[in-house]
Structure formats: structure tokens, C-alpha cells
Chain A
Amino acid sequence: DAGVIQSPRHEVTEMGQEVTLRCKPISGHNSLFWYRQTMMRGLELLIYFNNNVPIDDSGMPEDRFSAKMPNASFSTLKIQPSEPRDSAVYFCASSLKGGYTFGSGTRLTVV
């Protein structure tokens, strides 16, 4: 199994641009999570899905952030428009019955 696959690994974009982060969970896992990691705030849960349905999006910071999971094998996190304070590492994780597996993350830099 290739694990949780995130793309891109690194993204540099200009303020105001749209950014889309992608995640492919482990096959068979029924829960998917998006986290943001910064030095100031540590690891923050943004949103999670069970069986492709968003369950808790209370961690999504603003309306500029949106996440979708159109099927069991793919999810996106979109930021539109992006701002410099969105710079962080964004992790996707998937799980089945409590066993979490994290992807390697996307390092986003907004200049």
C-alpha cells in the first residue's frame, strides 16, 4: 500500500490566488482528515469526513477554505483567495476504526 498520498509536496503561490491541495486516502479507509500545522498553533484539525460526508468542519478558519470528498479515494482542500497567513504544512490523514495514517503533507507558502 502506498499510504496516504498528498500533492503537491510544495506549493508557492501569490496572495489572492486559488490553491488546491489534493489527497488520496488509503484504500478501504472510511475517514479522512485535513490538518494544518504551524509553529504558532501546532496541529489543527480543519475538517473530517466519514464515508465521504463532512462531519465536522468547525476547524475551517474562514469561508476562504473549502473541502470536498467526491468519492472514497479523493479529497481536495481549496483556499480561495489565499493569504500569507495561510502559509503552513497541510496534512491529510485517513483511518479505519481508529488507526490513523498521515500523508507527507503539502508545504504551502503564500507570498
Chain B
Amino acid sequence: GNSVTQMEGPVTLSEEAFLTINCTYTATGYPSLFWYVQYPGEGLQLLLKATKADDKGSNKGFEATYRKETTSFHLEKGSVQVSDSAVYFCALNWNTGNQFYFGTGTSLTVIP
């Protein structure tokens, strides 16, 4: 079946550190892949997405590349800020408007 596995948190980094949050997926075919971010007290917001192999999604300094050979979609940012503190969810979807499959979320705290 379809599933998403992402690294366990919580992750704590100092400001300006490099961030990687790993995400791998299990699916048949070629789903679209997403990263969502949830700031404290808010709903999930789309951060970035990639719809086919080798696509790179990017937004707000975050990047993730759709790697079909390793079934991965790792999230990276070169220099995190305190304002990046949030929970990050990896997800897959088949672009049909049907359900997303979410990972369990990774909590990130960035300290000054």
C-alpha cells in the first residue's frame, strides 16, 4: 500500500544550522510528493511539492528533490531561522483530489 516514513523528532538546531529531514515513501507508480508545515496553533500549510521524478520543489529557502531510485523526498534548508520552528509533514498524493498519505511529522525547534 501507500505510506510515508519520515525521521523521528524532535529536532533541535541552532540558528543558521543546516537542516535535513528525511522522508521515504512506498507507493505504486508515480505519486506527487509534498512537504507541509504546521506552525504552533495553526493548520497545515503547503511548503513545497514535486510532481515527477527528479523534480525539485522549493520555497522559503527549503528544497526537496523527488528521487525515484531511492523513493525519497528529503527536506533541506541551508540556514534555519528561529521562525522555522514548526512541525513538518511529508506526504504523497495521486493528483486526483483524493486523500493524502501523511508521515507522522517531525518537530523542529530552532534556538537562537
Contact = CB atoms under 8 A, between A and B. Distances in A.
Interface of A: 4, 30-31, 33, 42-43, 45, 48, 50, 55-56, 91, 93, 95-105
A18 B80 CA distance: 44
Given A102-B43, A103-B43, A96 B97 contact: yes
B70 interface: no
Interface stretch (B12-20, B58-66, B71-79, B98-106): B98-106
Interface residues of B, number: 21
B40 to A, nearest CB: 11
Interface string B7-51: 000000000000000000000000010101000011111100000
A80 B40 CA distance: 29
28 contacts: A4-B43, A30-B97, A33-B99, A42-B102, A42-B105, A43-B89, A43-B102, A43-B104, A45-B100, A50-B97, A95-B97, A96-B97, A97-B96, A98-B32, A98-B93, A98-B94, A98-B95, A98-B96, A99-B46, A100-B34, A100-B46, A100-B93, A102-B43, A102-B44, A104-B41, A104-B43, A105-B42, A105-B43
A104 B102 contact: no
Contacts, number: 55
Given A42-B104, A42-B105, A98-B32, A91 B44 contact: yes
A97 B102 CA distance: 17
A96 B95 CA distance: 9
A100 B89 CA distance: 13
Contact of B98 (A43, A48, A105): A48
